[in-house]
Amino acid sequence: MLKPDFIKEGDKIAIVSTARKIDIKEIEDALYILKQWKLVPVVGATIGLTNHQFAGTDEERRSDFQKMLDDQEIKAIWCARGGYGTVRIIDDIDFSQFRKHPKWIIGYSDITVLHSHLHNLGFCSLHAPMPVDIHKGTRESIDTLRDAIFGRNITYTVSPSKKNIPGICTGQLIGGNLSMLYSMCGSGSSLNTSGKILCIEDLDEYLYHIDRMLQNLKRNRYFEGLSGLIVGGMTKMHDNNIPFGKKPKQIILDIVKEYGFPVVFKFPMGHIEDNQTLIFGAQASLQITKNEVKLKYL
C-alpha cells in the first residue's frame, strides 16, 4: 500500500466539497488551523455552491475535485464535509494523474467512498475530522490530524469497554462509515477485508438498520478472514415504537461472535468530538486487554 508524501510547511492544501453544500464561513476555523500550521489553503469552487442539498451539480463537484487531484502543487485534498453525494461522482473521477503523483485525501463519513476506492487502487488515505466540524474537535483529534499529515508518529491508547473481545491482531486499517460500506457492496469500491482491521462508525440510524447493514456485510463475507474489528461512535441511534431489543454493541457482537477476531468498542473515531485521525491502508497492530486498548502503526 503506497503512502503519499507527507506534508511540509509551505505546501498547498485544497478544501473542496464532494457531497453536501457548505458556506465559506463554515470552514473559517479550518483555514485558520492550516495557516497556523504554516500551510497554504486553496479554497475550491464548490465551497459556497448550491444545487439543492449538494455543493453544486454532480459535474461541478467532480470537476472541482478533479482539478485539485490533477494539480501537482496541491499536496492534499481536505474534504469540507460529508452528508451525501460522493458516490454520485466516484466513477467519473480520473485517477491517472493521482497514480503518478499521489496526495493525501482527508475526511470521513461520506468520504468513506473515496477511502474505499483509493484502497482498491493501492493508496493510503486519512480518516479524519473535516473543516465543517473541526471547531468541535478535541485537542487529540486535531493533533492526530496534524501529526498524520506531517508524518509524525501516532499511537492510540483507549480505555477498555466491558463488551470488548480481547486479543492481538495486525493488518491494514480499512473501513469508515457503516452506511457507506453497506451501500458500496457489489461495486468496484467494495473492500476485500481478508487479513485486515475493519473500522466502522455511524450516525443517526435506526437499530434495525444497523442490524440489516451488518447482516449484508456478513453475507458479502466482510467478516471472513478479518483480523480485527474497531467500532467507533454509534451516535444518536434511534429505535421504533416496537423496540428492536438490542443496542449497537450487542447487535455487532451477535453477528461477529462466530469468527473469533478481537473487537474494540468506543474507539475515538466517527461522528464524535474525539474523532482521531486514522491512516487507512497503513499496517497496524491492535492489542486489546481487560485493562487497556492500544493501536500503533508498524
Locate the DSSP E strands across the chain: 12-16, 40-43, 74-79, 104-107, 125-127, 155-158, 167-177, 197-203, 228-235, 263-264, 278-280, 283-288, 293-297
Burial of 294 (0-12, 13-18, 19+ CB in 10 A): middle
Q: State how far the Cα of 96 lies from the Cα of 206, in Å rounded to an integer.
A: 39
- Does residue 271 have an active-site annotation? yes
Known catalytic residue at 9: no
Which residue in 2, 73, 58 sits closest to 282, CA to CA?
Answer: 2
- Please give the Cα distance from 198 to 191 (Å, whole number): 10
For CA atoms 217, 161, 207, 272, give the dihedral sign: negative
Q: Grid coordinates in use for 139? A: 485537542
Q: Residue 78: CA atoms inside 13 Å, Cβ hemisphere, count?
A: 28
Site of grid cell 482491521? 197
Asked if 200 and 232 count as a contact pair (C-beta separation under 8 A), the reply is yes
Identified catalytic residue from 117, 201, 205, 227? 201
Catalytic residue flag (residue 224): no
Query: Catalytic residue among 109, 116, 125, 141, which?
Result: 109
Cα-Cα-Cα-Cα dihedral sign, residues 56, 94, 111, 125: negative
Cβ neighbours for 261, distance < 8 A, ≥ 6 positions apart: 165, 167, 169, 223, 226, 227, 228, 229
Q: Active-site residues: which are they?
A: 109, 201, 271
